Amino acid sequence: MINIRVLTLGLLLLFSFDGFSQETNPIDKLDSGERDPRKRQVDYHYGYKNRPHSFKEASTHVAAVYGITWVLYPATQPKVFRDKGSFKNYKRNFGRLVFDHDEPFWNWFVHPISGSQLYLFYRANGYSRVDSLGMSFISSTLFELTVEIYTEPASVQDLYQTPVIGSILGLGLENLSMYLLNSGNVLGKFLGHALNPATLFWFYEGKVQMIPRYNGKKTGSLTFVMDF
Amino acid sequence: MKVYLIIIFIFFSTSLFSYENVMALKSGIGVAQSTIHAFDSSEDHMTGTGFNTQFGYRFTNWEVNLTSYIYWGKIDDLRFEANNTSIIGSGVFSNVSFGPIAKYIFDFQPLQGWNLYLGGGYAYSLQTVKLKEFQSSNGSFNSNYKLNYISRGPTAAIGIEELLPFKEMHAVYIELLYSNQISKRVSVVDTTDFAEVKTITTEESRQKIRGSFFMLNAGITLF
């Protein structure tokens, strides 16, 4: 008996679409060019614009990421860096490639997360998806072969998984963060930036300011302003 | 003679109406059936599920990819020797394979709009076994240990893929992959400290452990 009540209540909740909505569909009231009242007004639209990059610009981006990895690696793993790191190890590990025996947490969580943020960094700088993957490949390979060897030899899994699985994860984060950022609400924007921090920085090229204008008569316009 | 003519016709027909000369990333899910032929001539069968990724360059008919095939599953009654200890047990396993694969996409369509392809390459694999219940010939093996086999061997694939003019249309592929690998190195790894695992022993495999893997994969071109 209780189960039937719960089921009925569940069905009632599930199919009560109009409980909190207006009596008539607001879209019916829309004139051509009028803003959809069901959506929040947003000042900025977030997205990505792909553009070509010169060799010099691409090299600058790779160099910047490379420099950051030399700072981030010891900063995020100070114990490993201190206990296992040495230039003697660097010399011994240079050119070595092994299968690491790390736990799944590192290979299936930490490295793909790092790779996804690399991918999103390059996306924020105007690279296409496949170019971002390629650039992530270059950056993570440089890290594996010339930075991480200070403590351990380069790993086959990391070389492949960081950029490739990282880019697949990055693609998901990209779509989810854009949805949240364009939702126009505070929580959505917070979560969108948290998932895709590259959208917070000056180099992010996809933030478009939307300025609605109305001339007081019957026509209006929407101006998009983008910084380069 | 007819067969040769047909083969030559298939190989030199380059009229595919598909996206070409671009880099592409594909990914999908799959199921795998592995058989490990162990040291005492016994066979261990494992069924797992997982995913695959393929990143490479599509020419007109040829495609060259770096691939990974990853799957996880359960294993029962595994028998192996490590560190002079014979062990029989049950637990979980994972398989991670990487390697280059070259594919040739034929004009032949077994289903309308789907083209047949054949591929071949070489795979480097790491099989990890973590035993939950086991019996060992001495007490040196414990439940925090895991076994890692590093194997390698040739890989062959046959599949079908949707023929679409743009990769943005996310072509679907379905493939059957076979790999025959020989274990080259076996390590016993202590995972007590998950942040810093310790390799207890690593030895060149003298046990001639051979693995054969069938994988059924399906996926799409992501970008």
List pLDDT tens digits, range A20-69: 444 445 445 545 556 677 878 888 899 998 999 999 999 999 999 999 99
Residue A93 lies in a domain: yes
B159 has which bridge partners?
A: B117, B175
List pLDDT tens digits, range A199-214: 999 999 988 876 666 6
Dihedrals phi, psi of A152, to nearest 5 degrees: -155, 155
pTM: 0.80
Query: β-strand B22-37 against B43-58: which pairing, if any?
Result: antiparallel
Q: Which of B92, B184, B223 to mutate to test the interface with A (most CBs of A within 10 A)?
A: B223
The pLDDT of residue B19 is 83
Residue A195 lies in a domain: no
Is residue A174 within 8 Å of A48, Cβ to Cβ?
Answer: yes
Our CA-based measurement puts residue A105 at a distance from the nearest CA of chain B, in whole angstroms, of 8
Q: How many residues make up chain A in this entry?
A: 228
Is residue A98 within 8 Å of A145, Cβ to Cβ?
Answer: no
List pLDDT tens digits, range A166-190: 999 999 999 999 999 999 899 999 9
What are A190's two structure tokens?
A: 């917070």
CATH architecture assigned to B23-221: Beta Barrel (2.40)
Average pLDDT over residues A130-157: 95
The pLDDT of residue B114 is 94
Contacts of B85 (CB under 8 A, 6+ apart): B136, B137, B138, B140, B141
Query: β-strand B114-136 against B145-162: which pairing, if any?
Result: antiparallel
Our CA-based measurement puts residue A10 at a distance from the nearest CA of chain B, in whole angstroms, of 34
Q: According to DSSP H, which parts of A94-214 are helical?
A: 104-105, 111-124, 129-146, 156-181, 186-195
Query: β-strand A220-226 against A207-214: which pairing, if any?
Result: antiparallel
The pLDDT of residue A23 is 47
Our CA-based measurement puts residue B66 at a distance from the nearest CA of chain A, in whole angstroms, of 9
The pLDDT of residue B194 is 73
What are A1's two structure tokens?
A: 């008996």
SS3 A141: helix
- How many C-beta atoms surround the C-beta of residue B189 within 10 A? 20
Nearest to residue B219, comparing CAs of B21, B22, B53?
B53
Average pLDDT over residues A145-172: 94
223 residues of chain B, pLDDT tens digit each: 666 666 655 555 545 567 888 999 999 999 999 887 766 666 778 889 999 999 999 998 999 999 999 999 988 877 777 667 778 888 888 999 999 999 999 999 999 999 999 999 999 999 888 888 888 777 677 778 888 888 999 999 999 999 898 999 999 999 999 999 988 788 888 888 777 788 887 877 666 678 889 999 999 999 9
- Could you list the beta-strand ranges (E) of B38-113: 43-58, 62-82, 85-105
Q: Distance (Å, rounded) from C-alpha B205 to C-alpha B38?
A: 11
**Among all residues of chain A, which has the CA nearest to that of B66?**
A160
Our CA-based measurement puts residue B24 at a distance from the nearest CA of chain A, in whole angstroms, of 7
The pLDDT of residue B131 is 84
Instruction: Find chain B residues with C-beta within 8 A of A80's C-beta.
Output: 196
**Among all residues of chain A, which has the CA nearest to that of B220?**
A168
The pLDDT of residue A199 is 95
Nearest to residue B43, comparing CAs of B75, B72, B70, B69?
B75
* ipTM for this model: 0.81
Dihedrals phi, psi of B33, to nearest 5 degrees: -125, 115
Domain locations along chain B: 23-221
SS3 B179: strand
What are A20's two structure tokens?
A: 């909190």
Nearest to residue A207, comparing CAs of A218, A196, A216, A221?
A196
The pLDDT of residue B72 is 92
Residue A16 pLDDT more than 60? no
- A160–B66 CB contact, under 8 Å: yes
Query: If DSSP states are collapsed to H, E and C, what string results for B9-40?
Result: HHHHCCCCCCCCCEEEEEEEEEEEEEEEECCC
Contacts of B130 (CB under 8 A, 6+ apart): B91, B92, B93, B146, B147, B191
- B148–A99 CB contact, under 8 Å: yes
Residue A117 lies in a domain: yes
B57 touches chain A (CB under 8 A): no
Residue A72 pLDDT more than 80? yes
Residue A98 lies in a domain: yes
Residue A23 lies in a domain: no
What are B134's two structure tokens?
A: 């086991």
Least confident segment among A107-111, A161-165, A211-215: A211-215
Residue A111 lies in a domain: yes
Domain count of the fold of chain A: 1
Angle between helices A129-146 and A156-181 (to 10 degrees): 140
Q: In terms of residue numbers, what domain contains A74?
A: 52-167
Residue A77 lies in a domain: yes
Residue A82 lies in a domain: yes
Q: What is the mean pLDDT of chain A?
A: 84
